[in-house]
Amino acid sequence: MSQVMSWAIYLVACMLLAPAISWIFNNAWEPQQKRNKKRSKICSEISRLRRNIDHVFQKYDAREKGETFKKAYSLQGRSQKDLEEALAVGMFHEKREVFVAAFMRNGIAVRITASIGSPYKCSASDNPKKWSFYLSKLRCTELRQYHNHPVHNGSTKPSLTDIRTSGMIQNLLGAQSNKLKSLIIFWNPHQEWKLLEYAANGKYWMSHEFDASNECEAHPSGQLSLEL
C-alpha cells in the first residue's frame, strides 16, 4: 500500500472516530461533565436574567416623535419605585441626557418636570427659582432631581457641573433645601440600572441597584412569580 493511501485511510479513520471521541470526552470524562453542567447552569441563569430585564422594558412603549418625555412614560402619580423604573427605561431609550424634577408627597410624584438634552448635558425644563413655591403649595416631603449618564459600563460619578447644579438648587430652596435628593441613573452592559446619589459637597454614594435576578419573571400563563 502506498504512503499516500495509508495517510488517506488514517485521515478517514480520524474523521469517523472524532464524533465518538468527542462524545466520550464530554459525557464520560467526569471533569468535563462537571464543566459542562456548570456552563449549562450559567447559560440558563443568563437567559433567565435576560428574560427578566426584557419583561421590565416591554412594559413601556417607546416615546413617539413630538411626545413629551413625562407623558410618554406617564410619570406623574407614580410611586418612587415605579417612577424610577419608568425613568430607567425611558432614559435608556433616549441615549441622551434627560433631566427630571419629581415633586414627591409621601412617596408619590405629584408634580413632574422633564427635559431632553444632548448626549452630554441637560437642564431643567422650568425655572428652579419656583421650586420652593411648588414644594410648599403641594405640601411635598421631597424633591428628587434625576438625570442620566448614558453609559453602559456600570460605573460613573457626578461631574463638576452636576455638583454645582445641586448646590445651586439647594440655595434656591432655602429653608427647604433638606428635601432635595440629587440622583444619577446609569446602566451596566445588561441594561440593569443603578442610582447614584450625590451632594453639593461632592460626596456621592450608591442609592439603589436594580437586580434582575430578584425581579418577577413573565410566564406563558401571564402570571408572575418572584424568583429569589
User: 179-221: per-residue pLDDT in tens?
Assistant: 999 999 999 998 999 999 999 999 999 999 998 777 543 333 3
The single residue listed with the C-alpha cell 453639593 is: 200
Show the domains of the chain with their CATH numbers: 3-56 (no CATH), 64-218 (3.40.140.10)
| Residue 21 or 178, more confident | 178
d(CA 114, CA 100): 4
Strand locations in 17-132 (E): 98-105, 108-116
Among 24-38, 64-78, 191-205, whose mean pLDDT is lowest? Answer: 24-38
- What proportion of the chain, given as a percentage, has pLDDT over 90? 61
Q: Band the pLDDT of 225: cuts 50, 70, 90.
A: very low
Element (H, E) at 155: none
d(CA 201, CA 220): 50
State the pTM of this model: 0.75
Q: How many residues comprise the chain? A: 228
d(CA 12, CA 32): 26
Q: Band the pLDDT of 47: cuts 50, 70, 90.
A: confident
